[in-house]
Amino acid sequence: MSSFKTQDQADVTGKRVLVRADLNVPVKNGRVTDATRIERLVPTISDLLKRGAKVVVLSHFDRPKGRRVPEMSLRPIVPALAKALGHPVAFADDCVGASALTVVNALQTGEVALLENLRYHDGEEANDPVFARALAALGDIYVNDAFSAAHRAHASIEGLARVLPSYAGRQMQAELAALTAALVQPKKPVMAIVGGSKISTKLDVLNNLVAKVDVLVIGGAMANTFLNAQGIAVGKSLCERDLADTARGILDSARRNNCEIFLPTDVVVADGLTEGAATAVCAVSAVPADKLILDVGPATVLALKSRLTACRTLLWNGPLGAFEVKPFDAATVAIALHAAAQTRAGALVSVAGGGDTVAALNAAGVVGGLTYVSTAGGAFLEWMEGKVLPGVAALGG
């Protein structure tokens, strides 16, 4: 990633700073139920306020598809944002036009406002230059702190960055630094753990990583597809049998790139995915025809720990088993704890991302123990695929 300017390089005193955030957070009965994304935005806004800016926060929420959908309003976010900032937050019932301009013009130095859902307007997702200019009319400087939306070529992500002087916010800066450390300029050897249910959703990720990392660990039901492709019976387990040739192609590509593919040697099986189900451990070559593979086994965990200890960088996307249901979270938790211990010891740079991954790390209690945990979903995945993200490219990164 090439260089880009950060908000520290901007003279924001007395300026209207448009901050693109991702406030697409869970809301139930009008209340925010998970404020993680809001809390991660605080350093960016607090810094700008302390330096005398007038901060105008822009965000989307859900998918109203260009219509005003009351239950997709950002208004319920105001109390949570104000609480996180420890500062009052004004609200405008539109993100462009007279009502937005009235609220923005009323801001004094060191004050903040949140504007209504960007996606109430078709121009947002269409990356309409007219809509981008309407947004730009509300500010003097643009700061993008929404890496999780950086894979969208939308007006507030890509178009606006072309109109105003543009900078990366604190969170965007931290995310890009972490991703660069994990895959662009990593300490070697590099291990990537990729889990999930289907390789069909992560083909581009796998094909990109085999050319970039030293060890590629394949977990979750994805591993079943690779085992099946090698002639190993996987019982009643979830398996994309029609992708056997694709899996063999990835294995061949890994060999050509001197990338070790790490697959389980033993697994935990059960009759069904239910909490407290009776389980058994068996070699991958001895999976009963009537059983489901729902986690990797203890021998695989020990081997993976040993392999991880020898690595200096870890990139993680996806659990090793059906972690949502105990006891099939055991392997994921064990490796998460080991990765956190290696990170604390200064022996490992560990970067993880993706919704299921973050949930699994939260369950293991180690989110704070890794080098960086990304709350981005699609953007993190597209970055792992090696794609150029429009929101990053627009900043010059």
The predicted-structure confidence for 7-21, as pLDDT tens digits, reads as follows 999 999 999 999 999
pLDDT higher than threshold 50 for residue 229: yes
- Assign residue 52 a region (left: φ > 0; alpha: ψ between -120 and 50; beta: otherwise): left
**Lowest mean pLDDT, pick from 53-67, 143-157, 194-208:** 194-208
Catalytic residue among 66, 97, 378, 386: 378
Q: β-pairing, 313-317 with 349-353?
A: parallel
Contact 292, 340 (CB under 8 A): no
pLDDT digits (tens, 9 = 90+) for 206-215: 999 999 999 9
Mean pLDDT for the stretch of residues 360-376: 90
pLDDT higher than threshold 80 for residue 286: yes
pLDDT the model gives residue 1: 45
**CA atoms of 104 and 21, how far apart (whole Å):** 17
Q: Which fold has domain 186-384?
A: Rossmann fold (3.40.50)
pLDDT the model gives residue 397: 56
pLDDT digits (tens, 9 = 90+) for 72-117: 999 999 999 999 999 999 999 999 999 999 999 999 999 999 999 9
Share of the chain above pLDDT 70, in %: 99
Mean pLDDT for the stretch of residues 269-274: 96
One-letter amino acid identity for 332? T
This prediction has a pTM of 0.89
Catalytic residue among 198, 236, 305, 312: 198
Could you say which architecture CATH assigns to the domain 7-170?
3-Layer(aba) Sandwich (3.40)
Decide if 387 is catalytic. no
Query: Which residues on neighbouring strands pair with residue 267, listed in sequence order?
Result: 282, 296
pLDDT higher than threshold 80 for residue 67: yes
pLDDT the model gives residue 20: 98
Decide if 354 is catalytic. no
pLDDT the model gives residue 257: 97
Domains 7-170 and 186-384 share a fold: yes
Q: Where are the domains of the chain?
A: 7-170, 186-384
Catalytic residue among 15, 16, 37, 54: 37
Catalytic residue among 97, 249, 355, 377: 355
Decide if 5 is catalytic. no
pLDDT digits (tens, 9 = 90+) for 295-343: 999 999 999 999 999 999 999 999 999 999 999 999 999 999 999 999 9
Decide if 355 is catalytic. yes
pLDDT higher than threshold 70 for residue 2: no
